[in-house]
Amino acid sequence: MRKILIFSTLALALWGCCIKENRSGCPANVHLSLSERALSIAGDTPVKVRLGDGTRTASVTLSAYSPDCWESVERGVVSVAGILDNGAGTIVALGGQSDSLWAFSGDHVVVGEEEEIVVELHKRFATIYITFDEGIDTGRYRIMVMGDIGGTDLTRMTPVEGDFICELAVEDHSSSVRVPAQSPGSGLRLQFSDPATGELSWDWDLAAELAAKGYDWNADDLEDIRVTVRLLPMELSITFGSWSDGGSVG
């Protein structure tokens, strides 16, 4: 009887130590949270986040008041995309300019039972600040910024082809326009024309000027741009550099 008891106890010990539950097909719990920078950018404005695991999608809202949450997803590649809920759209209305689009998109490989995903926000627009020499009578011209990129695909964070046409409102010899991220080879132009006849007086290839200066449209956060239109001879110069997370030139 004593031998049987010892054998039974040993068998139970082996079962508890060596036979593991296969949980590879079980869902995982993902902890979503806003980064410190995202919280600083968003302020009191909520961030809408969408998760997709290949079988379903879920939408959540994060904010300064609820900066994190847990979501159940299938293990594997999980797509995460989001946008600051500041009224910004991903497509530019014809005749308008880009909204102040702060967004993100990316894939995450989820393998464990619990995973951490930190949500960032990136500046997906560039503000072009244009200054005109005082000797230029801007009232004589129709001044346009034109291009062939009309928005941003949020799922891949890539430029969307489309007409971009924005007439500048000039005040105190300065103006500005927000443009979406451009793609290699896309056209972006600054044009002066006669408002009555439409005849072009000057036509500058902004895309080429920016490329020559080394502007990076593939950067996670797009830098703002300064353009100066000078008189005698009629020419322009371009600089770009620091900006604050509020979207203005530093």
Structure-token pair, residue 46: 């909520």
140, 114: one domain:
no
Token pair 């951490």 in the structure block, residue: 116
User: pLDDT over 90 for what percent of the chain?
Assistant: 76
Q: Residue 89: how many CB atoms within 10 A of its CB?
A: 13
Q: What is the average per-residue pLDDT within 55-81?
A: 95
Is the domain of 29 the same as that of 95? yes
- The per-residue DSSP string of 18-40 comes to H-----TTS-EEEEEEE-HHHHH
Give the H/E segment covering residue 179.
strand 174-180
> Of the residues 73, 105, 122, which one is the last residue of a structural domain?
122
Ranges 51-55, 63-67, 116-120: which has the least confidence: 51-55
Could you tell me if 91 and 151 lie in one domain? no
Query: What pLDDT is stored for residue 245 in this prediction?
Result: 62
pLDDT of 39 above 70: yes
pLDDT in the model for residue 11: 37
Structure tokens at 207: 């895309």
Domain that holds residue 188: 125-241
Q: What are phi and psi of 9, to 5 degrees?
A: -65, -40
